[in-house]
Chain A
């Protein structure tokens, strides 16, 4: 896949995001830093300050007891912030869920949450119960993350989460997840480097036909190209009925 202008854009936006995050934290400290040590107001800030102190030992920091906790981890804090950042590509989800954190850092298998993807046409979206399966066991300090609070609220109210759909095909296209998963097609083939995304967006991919026509993902030509290269079926009825 060649790097495209969109990739450059994504990279730029990503950088911008990280930068703003850094300055943001910086600002909060500046206020506190008039006199006396820098005081953390949350576990996430505590992580930040420790990182700063590691960088320059002269820095005076104070971490109240209630915030002196390893959880949520610094990675979790950063992912969470990045996932709710509207300036990066992709829609802001009702819960700032980070695939990077779960699939990337923790290496949770895609099908652990997206169950039935290997048996069904649809890739299942995990139920609230499944999320709570892990998250109910986490220490209360996690609740400082807004996403966790929303999740627990949904669970208590038994309310469904309405995720924004990103990969969406017309009714007359019957994409079969199971067929692809069974053939061992990696999720990333179509969904891009999902394990590197804090906030999921549709990565762009383009195939150039010999007659110099672009077929963009997820247009039909893009599917056909892959099917041709891999000798998969090109029967129209495989997808259209």
Chain B
């Protein structure tokens, strides 16, 4: 049992697709318990029984479409016109723009490529130190994960629901819970930006530029309002908001702005659906492996084990933070969610941690995992994109990393921050 487990982990480390590894473990588990193996495909079929999943292809497509259009430029121009006059203005602009963009596109490195390429030269031009700019864009690549409608928030709620132990957790809960922790991160990073650019000359505020920037972005501006307002007010279900977003973005970028040619649409659609297929095929397989784990009472066994080693909640949370930090550097956020939440949630519940709070801790940790040295994925993407040695990126991101680490610690040990808005 342990031997085959190790063999599977080894194959995963050698680069076998994760869905294959998860499928293999489910098949093996059911085979050992002498259950008919068609159960794995029956569990997989539950993909077609969860209405919320419809939101995933729709948001993913909208995000890809936005990043292929000129929307990032317009977003930067608007935020710059509105916030650029502040001390550290351009840095704050970058943080806010990246957070909004990542919330819509998911943290798949798209932000660094689409927005970082725009912001990094602007930051250097405005006189910011090179390392400051590099650190900022790399960090911002995963900022915004806690804001609706980020896919990881949706996925966490879906997985937690499947376990049936998370007392009625919903995607809406996660959308609300992420707001304050997300703003905390944004505020702390902005504070650091203002401090580091205290010697920068200030730029002036111009109503004329604000008007021009707003007019240029007039078509995209309603989008966050409609989506977030619609979801938070309860007017739209999540998948409805996703449908409206996809349809609206399609009309605006293809028909009104005409920045994306009709003939390029199939390629963009295919690219987005490769991501969606990759995520959902893992989710589907994990439905099978999770149901095996529950049958075999693995979570209960793990909980007993952990319980005998760790007695109090605080120690558990510290270990959880460390574990997730390491996990975040190795696994992308989607597979980490699918693999770890079914195991961690029952344990965390045993220590009296609210499932919504656990979700926020999990995602906040994963967010900094993206640029935790030595192997955080966004470090490599930024190194490649800006053509800088990886060691320089380690140095450049260090202050940002430490600030966000502090934010993660606050989020972890102050549950009210996540739970107040949800009313739990």
A complexed with B: no
